[in-house]
Homo-oligomer: A and B are copies of this chain.
């Protein structure tokens, strides 16, 4: 009997083993288990033996193979494709692993380590005689998984109706989230429990130039936390969204279950796929330490290395801009009083100037003088080109030509003037969402940039996308962004895209796409306003897949300085604005304020002039999402370090431990700290600056005001 029982046990284990696979991270802390339950694929995730993701379903639903006619037919019965979510048998599994390091062209560290164990499970659907692969990669910082669709006889073309990848959490957790939307990420974060999401969803957003909200949905990346004695942090995101729509997430707030919800096109289709193809990676970065979540490079590791042959033109860029004065309403992008212009037909020299056009020769030269005198790489000028009179709100396809300046902008003279002073101009291409038009003009626009010596462009996608019906995060538009990045590379141009899709690590593949906005940035301080904790959340979410052009550096935080009675203000202290250059990584950093405001605080401005934007090393000293972040970074190729710390609406004390410095060396630290009476509402411009000699054994106690911060530049003493 015993033998029979043992035999049965082995048989049982065997049959379990046949349908279940286990994968561990290199350090053994994470364990992923895959299994088929009645032909349906599931995975779960454990950390230190404890379940952090319960059995969660995988799969996709398809529209009929082949093309679809029009929207009215999408829901028709004969449109139903045979889904890729059930009826599977596992026919193969393949283990693999990798331990490599690679150097990002621009990054937070000189090298990133890509170390994982991998399991690729082949799932066959006998009924349809076709198979897919689900690939899992387990890193020491978490899990990534994706679908692979090999080219084969019975799987060549299909259309996704929906991807149903689930993440089923065992318990309620604290979560920082923004509402799901096919067109915008420019929202404040809501901090709540997962269970509270439906109740809080209706008040989680304000208006936007282009928005298509998903009721009760949220966006990724999102960060979650289990509170208590053994806190646990988890960022859910995706990596390598290429030729595929962006995923939002549907929330089952009762079962704490998340499910992917892809961005549709204008007809409701969620992805036109030709095999061989792969989905993006769905990623779960997790740790007991928030600092380790911030330190994770998993999303970049999951992207393909670049195919670019020359990346020498891709450089860290610090810039100022003829921009903030338009954002706050002091001047305008448009040149004339007209409200109806025809590019290529209207004679702009005959229009009546509105007297508020910022991008004029006189003002631009003043900005050039200041920016060049203070060592900046570039000056952005918005409103330089014809078309701003009626650029927004009309679904105007031929809205800009990107090559014709206004009558008061002498493109040759200004570029010569800037170059003589050792600074470049930064190009601006606001597309107004009219992506087809931008693609039509891109070659001519980039040729113009080459002709006049511009090497970087800020693009914008304010307003609904043309092709009409497509969304900012639809597959077609994702492909547009990558087409632009690739074309810009042909012309050796760096791209900083605003209102585009949030990056998912593709700076590894397209290193000239050096930054994006794609979240609620500093400009919103002049619109609805940003919360004091906003910058303590974004690095855990938006920044996980790539840098953000947050455009910090506002010294004149109160806007009643310009407009008596105006209640708008930037909700931080001045010192916190300095800290943002360290805490929020971007190789492209703007000193966003007007020169006159820096001129009044040249001592504080010195930090912005000194801070690097490209790094050999990064240490997250201490961090808690929604509360505070303290970061130290070592400038690339130099022995200089920069430290920055920020807090939310709570005052905090923090001690910087300088043990990251080289042992046995002495350094001079210049500290920029909130003044004793500083406060982001009552006294934002109160700060103190002092120097200290430090070494690797030093500690420095600092006090952060409400929505305050500090910045420290550390240079070796000779």
Interface residues of A (CB under 8 A from B): 66-71, 151, 156-157, 159, 212, 265-267, 269, 272, 274-275, 339-340, 342, 390, 393-397, 436, 439-440, 443, 463-464, 467-470, 476, 479
Please tell me which one of the listed residues B68, B436, B479 contacts residue A395 in the complex, with CB atoms under 8 A apart: B68
Q: Is the CB of A390 within 8 A of B67?
A: no
Q: Is the CB of A151 within 8 A of B340?
A: yes
Q: Is the CB of B393 within 8 A of A70?
A: no
9 CB-based A-B contacts, threshold 8 Å: A66-B395, A67-B395, A69-B464, A70-B212, A157-B394, A266-B266, A266-B467, A439-B440, A468-B476
Chain B neighbourhood of A394, CB < 8 A: 66-67, 156-157, 272, 274
Q: How far is the CB of A437 from chain B (nearest CB, A)?
A: 11
Cα–Cα distance between A698 and B69 once the two chains are bound (Å): 58
Q: Is the CB of A272 within 8 A of B71?
A: no
Q: Is the CB of A212 within 8 A of B69?
A: yes
A152 and chain B: residue at smallest CB distance: B340
Q: Is the CB of A266 within 8 A of B469?
A: yes
Please tell me which one of the listed residues B70, B397, B436 contacts residue A272 in the complex, with CB atoms under 8 A apart: B397
Q: Is the CB of B340 within 8 A of A468?
A: no
Q: How far is the CB of A627 from chain B (nearest CB, A)?
A: 37
Chain B neighbourhood of A339, CB < 8 A: 156
Cα–Cα distance between A254 and B329 once the two chains are bound (Å): 60
Q: How far is the CB of A334 from chain B (nearest CB, A)?
A: 14
A212 and chain B: residue at smallest CB distance: B70
Please tell me which one of the listed residues B436, B443, B469 contacts residue A469 in the complex, with CB atoms under 8 A apart: B469
Q: Is the CB of B468 within 8 A of A66?
A: no
Q: How far is the CB of A267 from chain B (nearest CB, A)?
A: 5
Chain B neighbourhood of A70, CB < 8 A: 212, 266, 469
A395 and chain B: residue at smallest CB distance: B67
Cα–Cα distance between A582 and B151 once the two chains are bound (Å): 52
Chain B neighbourhood of A212, CB < 8 A: 69-70
Chain B neighbourhood of A151, CB < 8 A: 340
Chain B neighbourhood of A440, CB < 8 A: 439
Q: How far is the CB of A353 from chain B (nearest CB, A)?
A: 19
**What copy number does this chain have within its complex?**
2
> For chain A, what secondary structure do more than half of its interface residues adopt (helix, strand, loop), or is it mixed?
loop
Q: Is the CB of B156 within 8 A of A390?
A: yes
Chain B neighbourhood of A390, CB < 8 A: 156-157
Q: Which of A342, A468, A470 has the most CB of B within 10 A?
A: A468
Cα–Cα distance between A410 and B544 once the two chains are bound (Å): 50
Interface contacts beyond A71-B266, A272-B395, A397-B476: sample of 17 additional A-B pairs, CB < 8 Å, sorted by A: A67-B463, A151-B340, A156-B339, A157-B390, A159-B395, A265-B469, A266-B266, A266-B267, A272-B396, A272-B397, A274-B342, A274-B396, A436-B436, A436-B439, A443-B443, A467-B469, A469-B469
Q: Is the CB of A71 within 8 A of B469?
A: yes
Instruction: In the A-B complex, list the 9 residue pairs whose CB atoms are closest, starting with the nearest.
Output: A467-B467, A67-B395, A157-B394, A156-B340, A266-B469, A266-B266, A469-B469, A66-B393, A267-B469
Q: How far is the CB of A599 from chain B (nearest CB, A)?
A: 41
Q: Is the CB of A464 within 8 A of B67?
A: yes
Cα–Cα distance between A620 and B702 once the two chains are bound (Å): 97
A341 and chain B: residue at smallest CB distance: B274
Chain B neighbourhood of A265, CB < 8 A: 468-469
Q: Is the CB of B157 within 8 A of A468?
A: no
Q: Is the CB of B393 within 8 A of A67?
A: yes
A487 and chain B: residue at smallest CB distance: B440
Q: How far is the CB of A73 from chain B (nearest CB, A)?
A: 10
Chain B neighbourhood of A443, CB < 8 A: 443
Cα–Cα distance between A159 and B397 once the two chains are bound (Å): 13
Q: Is the CB of B275 within 8 A of A340?
A: yes
Cα–Cα distance between A395 and B396 once the two chains are bound (Å): 26
Chain B neighbourhood of A71, CB < 8 A: 71, 266, 469
Q: How far is the CB of A614 from chain B (nearest CB, A)?
A: 33
A433 and chain B: residue at smallest CB distance: B67
Cα–Cα distance between A266 and B395 once the two chains are bound (Å): 14
